[in-house]
Amino acid sequence: MKYKDYYAILGVARDASAEDIKTAYRRLARKFHPDVSKEKNAEEKFKEMAEAYEALKDTEKRAAYDQLGRHDAGQEFRPGPDWGQQFGPGNASFDDIDLSDLFAGLSARRSRQADAGRRSERPVAGSDYEAAVRLTFEQAYTGTEVDLELSVLEWDPDGGVRRVPHRVKARIPRGVTNGEKLRVPGRGGRGARGGPDGDLYLDIEVTPHPLYRVAERDLYLDLPLAPWEAVLGTSVQLPTPGGPVTLKVPAGTRAGQQLRLSGRGIARGNGTAGNLYAIVRIEVPTTIDDAERESYRQLAENATFNPRAALEREASR
Amino acid sequence: MNAQTHEAQRLDDVAEITWMQLVGASGLSEGDLRELVHYGALVPRDPAAPTWTFETRWLVVARTASRLRHDFDLDSHGVSVVLSFVERIDTLEAELCRLRAQLG
């Protein structure tokens, strides 16, 4: 397994006091906790520092960590046989696990020993698992099925810890949006002694669509119009996720105006749907031929419209 | 053999969970959750009902509360204050997302 320098992660010396370790963790947690931080890679950094703090705040775990010796961060190492005898199950293989698994196993063994000491028969609920699910816009819009292969920790009856695959097929309902959380009940870790199984939580990530911009259940897309289409009005074929529709653009449409297509946004299972808004962009041709130039010249001569009337009034005061 | 397909449930304002289901799934003790309800950080469908039920979206809030309590070593009042900031951030981010969608 790869060595992680927990002291370096928290930015403290190896002989730091428990109070120094707590202060260092709190300072970093304030900056990187994913619920309150928008720092880049906050979640990844927080996981690393939380793992370091979990190990170093506990006297026994810190002693176990120190006994692993000093290595360079990222260097491959194996705990010696003495370490296994003292802190792990004697026959631990340490294959396919990482340092955080090693300490999770230590916590679990301690908890089991405490239960055994109390002759406790209390039910233990299974752990909840969490997985990120990345969907395309289309998959999120229509709903889809995902086949997840998680790698989860499992404890042997003798207290050893190992990683095992955990496969879950889940049906994602239509209309999920980026950042939404879903729950698959009972698909987390197994409960013990009659305790309930844990749940699986899915963190939905929806990749951006090249055309539609999403805000909750509403969709926005740009509708480019030629100047004469905006002035005279027109009908345009517009793509929507549910299929193309004809949109009537009224005469005198202005740039930036939002034309609403009711119920053409993201639909949910309960029948409610957001709207699709076509945002008018008035495009002008960058190259025109002589005949077109002549038409524009005639228009300029005959037009009474002055878009800067208010500015000119203000300037002439 | 093909694995069975399980329904992923939306956590929203439509589906409902009982008080005991919220306790079981939140990772918090019943006492801590009751304090969060008392501080207004979690809102039952009918606070006057003899047994509380919640919209499932409150499960996301309760699990965030559990994380905050554990990771920052906060008491329930501290958690409720941070939750109010998290909610404000979520609201502002949703507004920002909508404005960006409108601007293109």
ipTM for the whole complex? 0.93
The pLDDT value recorded for residue A211 is 96
**Residues of chain A contacting B25 with CB distance shorter than 8 Å:** 128, 183, 199
Given a cut of 80, is residue A87 above it in pLDDT? no
pTM value is 0.87
What distance in Å separates the CA atoms of residue A171 and residue A146, rounded to the nearest whole number? 6
- Interstrand relation of A258-261 and A245-249 (parallel, antiparallel or unpaired): unpaired
Residues B6, A170: C-beta atoms closer than 8 Å: yes
What distance in Å separates the CA atoms of residue A280 and residue A254, rounded to the nearest whole number? 7
What distance in Å separates the CA atoms of residue A101 and residue A104, rounded to the nearest whole number? 5
CA B47 to chain A, closest CA, distance in angstroms equals 25
CA B14 to chain A, closest CA, distance in angstroms equals 9
Question: What's the pLDDT band for A11 if we cut at 50, 70, 90?
Answer: very high
The pLDDT value recorded for residue A93 is 65
Task: Out of B2, B4, B9, name the one closest to residue A183 (CB).
Answer: B9
Among all residues of chain B, which has the CA nearest to that of A133?
Answer: B8
| Gyration radius of chain B's alpha carbons | 16
Residues A171, B67: C-beta atoms closer than 8 Å: no
Residues of chain B with pLDDT under 50: none
Question: What's the pLDDT band for A90 if we cut at 50, 70, 90?
Answer: low
Among all residues of chain B, which has the CA nearest to that of A176?
Answer: B10
- Interstrand relation of B53-55 and A181-184 (parallel, antiparallel or unpaired): unpaired
Q: Give tens-digit pLDDT for A167-194.
A: 999 999 999 999 999 999 999 998 888 8
**Residues of chain A contacting B98 with CB distance shorter than 8 Å:** 215-216, 218
Distances (CA, A) of A288 to A223, A282, A284, B48: 22, 16, 10, 71
The pLDDT value recorded for residue A40 is 81
Candidate from A76-85, A307-316, B44-53 with smallest mean pLDDT: A76-85
What distance in Å separates the CA atoms of residue A66 and residue A3, rounded to the nearest whole number? 12
Mean pLDDT within A59-72: 91
Task: Out of B5, B8, B101, name the one closest to residue A173 (CB).
Answer: B8
DSSP code of residue B51: S
Among all residues of chain A, which has the CA nearest to that of B15?
Answer: A270
